[in-house]
Structures are given as structure tokens and as C-alpha cells.
Amino acid sequence: MKNKIAVLGAGSWGSILASVLVQNGHDVSLWTRHTDQANEINQKHTNQRYLKNYQYPSNLKATADLKQALTAAQIILFSVPTPAIRDVATQVAKILQEQNNQPLIAHASKGLEQNTHLRISQILEIAIPQSQCQAIVALSGPSHAEEVARQDPTLITAASTDLDAAKRIQDVFMNNYFRVYTNTDLIGVEIGAALKNVIALGVGALHGLGYGDNAKAALMTRGLAEISRLGVALGANPLTFTGLSGVGDLIVTCTSVHSRNWRAGDQIGRGQNPADVIANMGMVVEGVKTCQSAYELAQQENIEMPIVEATYDVLYNHANIDKVAADLMQREGKAEL
């Protein structure tokens, strides 16, 4: 069934998800706040700043007019960085009220809000009244835009407490290279998605420091233990962390050259100033702000998260990165489980 879908955010992820949806036969309106970017997508079918040399389907329509993008939308997919979610969702709620529309809301963003420590679906739930929204679905898993663009096999999860809503998102995205599973553990999926970026910063830093695969595998594994500990304390199913949005996304983000978080960590490990690295990336590095939220959340919930704490110290307290890595090794002996 053909759906009218609004995709909000035309960075690398939103624009390629919009492309998948168009290829699947849906009527897609891709919203960006930049008119020149909308013009480039509509006229040249490119989005050079975000996905070099990729040709978008000619029937993908981009617009800088949010009202126009949302008109008659049956599904709205948010794909803006976490810090922008609340503001964009507030604008969306106002328009939906005027249009008297109640679409299904999905999001593909990965992070925790600063100060509130909220997951994306929680922010959306607050910003968009229930009367304006059928349900909320989170889309997550090991999926770099650059490889979806090549139509490499990609598997992700659509998570919602409303299984029918998750199935609808599964249906609109599934094709021969994009396979979608459903999951009702929204908390686990969103926590895995947000926290893997923090661990990838750390693994990238180890690479930059010159450490080998033993150290990186160790950080990934113990990082997953921290993610699971936090997730379970917040109500997640521990098994979710063995899935696509848990270990799956952790692996891809900690090992892929496409990962902005890994690349940022690598440069920091080589001695560059974290603020400069983030400023020069040209795309969002979600793990940096999420690290602060995760650090505060761990303190608040009294959860032991030494890797998150070490990453926080490097990013926010100018801690010496060699010393931080050495200190992690000097912690008292522990039971693994």
C-alpha cells in the first residue's frame, strides 16, 4: 500500500531513508530547513554535503516548507539530530493541530536529550499530544547511510510498545536489501542506539592511541555490559542488547570507517582537541552530548559505568587520555557477570 510519508531532516540518514521509501513506491516529502539543499535535491537529485556522488530517485521531493511536507502525511519520520528533536516536534505538533491530522510517528535518531536525559520517543510523546499521533516507533540498527546507498544488505529494528505500529513501519521499509524486524522493547532499543555512540568514541580513541584489537574488543564488550546495566535499570529487556540495536549497532559503530563517532574518537586519541574535532566533522557526532546525559543518568540511577565516566572525563574535564585508559585497567578485580 502506498503511503504519504514526511521525512524530517535531510542529512545523510534522513535523505537515504527517504530514498529507500521512494524506491518502495511511497509518496515521500523530505523536509530540510535549507532552501538551497531542497533545490539541489529536487533539481540535481544530489545531496553532496552529506552523501557524495549518490543519485537520489528523481521522484523524491524535498521542501523547506514544513507545513507542505506534513500535508496529509500518514507517517512522519524524524531524522534530525537529538538536540533538534524537541524543537522540530513542537513545530510539527502545531501544524498537525491546524491540519487536524493524526499520523503514525517514527524516528531514526540516536541519542539522549541533554539535561532531561530523555529518550527520543519520550521527547516526542511530550511534544506531540496523543490526539495528534497514532503511536511512536523507533527505527534502529547497524546501518550506515553510505552502505544503504549502495544497497548493501542492511537489517534494522522497528520498535514500539504498539506492535501494529512497528509492523506498519516494517512494511513500508522492507525490500530486497533492507530488512526490518519488530521489537516491543522500545526502552532497550533506544538505550542501545544512544549509548553505542559513546562506546564508539572510546573505541575510536583506543585506535588513535595505537592500541590493537584486544583492547578494542574489550572496550566493546565491557561497554555493552554498561549499556545493558543502564538499560535494565530503566526497564529494558536484557535480550534486546544481543540484537540489532544492541550488539549489532555497537559492532558497526565501533568498527566502521563510516562512523562519525568512531572517527571523532580516533582523532581525539591522536591528540586533537575534542571541541575542534566535533566542529570539523561537518555532521552530527551524537555520542558527545549523549555521553554527558548518560554520565548524569548513571550518577542519578547509581549505575556503575566506568567507560562512560572515562569518556566523559576526556570530553568534558580535559582528562589525559593515556591516564584514563591506564586507570580503567587498574580498577579492582571484578566478577564478569
Question: Does 50 count as an annotated binding residue?
Answer: yes
User: In sequence order, what are the beta bridge partners of 182?
Assistant: 158
Minimum gap (Å) between residue 264 Cβ and ligand 13P:
8
249 known member of a binding site: yes
Of 61, 67, 196, 216, which one is the catalytic site residue?
196
Nearer to ligand NAI, 119 or 144 (CB): 144
* Interatomic CA distance for residues 81 and 37, integer angstroms: 17
Query: Hunting for cell 549499556 — which residue is that?
Result: 227
81 binds, among ligand NAI, ligand 13P, none (CB under 5 to 8 A by kind): ligand NAI
**225-246: b (≥16 Cβ within 10 Å) or e:** ebbbbbbbebebbeebbebbbb
The residue number with the shortest CB distance to ligand NAI is 11
Check the annotation: does 196 bind a ligand.
Answer: yes
Of the chain, the end-to-end C-alpha distance in Å amounts to 47
- CB of residue 242 vs ligand NAI: minimum separation in angstroms? 19
**What's the length of the chain?**
337
Give the binding site for ligand 13P (CB under 6 A).
110, 142-144, 197, 200, 249, 252-253, 258-261, 286
What is the rounded distance in angstroms from the CA atom of residue 24 to the CA atom of residue 27? 9
CA–CA gap between residue 293 and residue 16 (Å, rounded): 28
| Residue 143 marked as a ligand binder | yes
Which residues face 4 on adjacent strands?
27
Residue 196 appears among annotated catalytic residues: yes
Q: Is 248 or 325 the residue whose CB approaches ligand NAI more closely?
A: 248
- Binding residues for sn-glycerol 3-phosphate, as ranges, are 110, 141, 143, 196, 249, 259-261
- Binding residues, as ranges, are 12-13, 33-34, 50, 110, 141, 143, 145, 196, 249, 259-261, 284, 286
